[in-house]
Structure 1
């Protein structure tokens, strides 16, 4: 589901802001209305329940990510892989981004009980793993990576990165970027050993400094 109107777009942007402020569990339709120019009654006109609105928000996030992947699908595989890794890195003190991912983590906890949310979680996991599989397959074909099992390697990377982000937002120390540490370890222990001699990857620092990168 893409954004179908300016009203839908404004409402979904209001969901984003409200989630960062209030988290998932305490979020109300009034909180969302307070972040937009729309009334609570108008929100209910477009979306019957808070769940309907949050499901639409998740769909929009996934649609936007797919569109971004499509736009960069012709970039070199090494650059695409580094961008993927960098998406999981955020610094301690980035409270806005941390609040957003904490709210998403709260929503993910409902996946065991809510079929609609679980469907979006399955789609998200599949999208992440497919992204890495495509990058690895393109890289092997272009001589950037040595032949590896793309599916097993993708599963390892996604599980490790997801776990690192979860740990940082729930247990992270004030001066410790655990996600950055884990990405650096993955580069050293998983990525570098499968690079061919001809491969030339941007550094994590260059990728993090890329103004086009979205977290």
Structure 2
């Protein structure tokens, strides 16, 4: 991606945090960048096309974050993944951006392209949880009776629910993060793995 689209993606993020999805205008995005509204329309014909590109931009960044999880063992990276998806990266903009993202998600039932892009996020997160659980079983850290696919599905639902609850009623995502972390250590791990994780 060249510098101009990168700048426009950053400007889109800032404008979404300030204005949300519904009231966002192309001019708002231009105002957050060094580019004119005409330049935006040169690259993207409409707000919908720009936001579709923005979702792809977010996806690429999210995938990079999931590829860079800390931890030597799969279980350590599993706990790091819970931490990553439920820890605000920027306290000043987190709620505004999550609110705008929820507005975009609400378009999913009516917009096939948005729905498919949002589904990519779900699949990516599910598959990463599932692969870490499977690797943890191979290492002997995750209990053999745990179903990685079903458990990964539960995690994705819990993460999405925590983010929606945070936006809707202000419930802190940290509570969900702590609960999921406890669920992993107390319910999914073998006794030996639990002792190791808790003692670290």
Same fold (TM over 0.5): yes
Give the 3 Å change call, closer, same or farther, for CA 46–18 of structure 1 in structure 2.
same
What does residue range 1-16 of structure 1 map to in structure 2 within 5 Å? 4-16=1-13
Matched, 1:193 2:190: no
What does residue range 71-150 of structure 1 map to in structure 2 within 5 Å? 71-72=68-69, 75-90=72-87, 94-147=91-144, 148-150=146-148
Q: CA RMSD in A?
A: 2.3
Q: Aligned with 1:110: secondary structure?
A: coil
Matched, 1:163 2:161: yes
Instruction: Look up the match of 2:151.
Output: 153
CA contact (8 A) 1:79 1:202 kept: no
Q: Aligned with 2:191: secondary structure?
A: coil
Give the 3 Å change call, closer, same or farther, for CA 171–121 of structure 1 in structure 2.
same
Q: Deviation digits for residues 76-124 of structure 1, max 9, x if unmatched?
A: 2122212221234357x93410111110000000001111101111111
Instruction: Look up the match of 2:175.
Output: 181
- For structure 2, the residue ranges without an aligned partner over 5 or more in a row are none
Distance 2:151 2:38 in 1: 48
Q: How many residues align?
A: 196
Return the structure number with greater helix share: 2
Matched, 1:30 2:27: yes
CA contact (8 A) 1:30 1:40 kept: yes
Bigger relative contact order, structure 1 or 2 (CA pairs below 8 A, ≥6 apart): 1
Bigger Cα displacement from structure 2, 184-193 vs 12-21: 184-193
Q: Aligned with 1:201: secondary structure?
A: helix
CA contact (8 A) 1:24 1:107 kept: yes
Give the 3 Å change call, closer, same or farther, for CA 73–141 of structure 1 in structure 2.
farther
Normalization by structure 1: what TM-score? Answer: 0.83
Among candidates 30, 44, 49, match of residue 47 of structure 1: 44
CA contact (8 A) 2:56 2:117 kept: yes
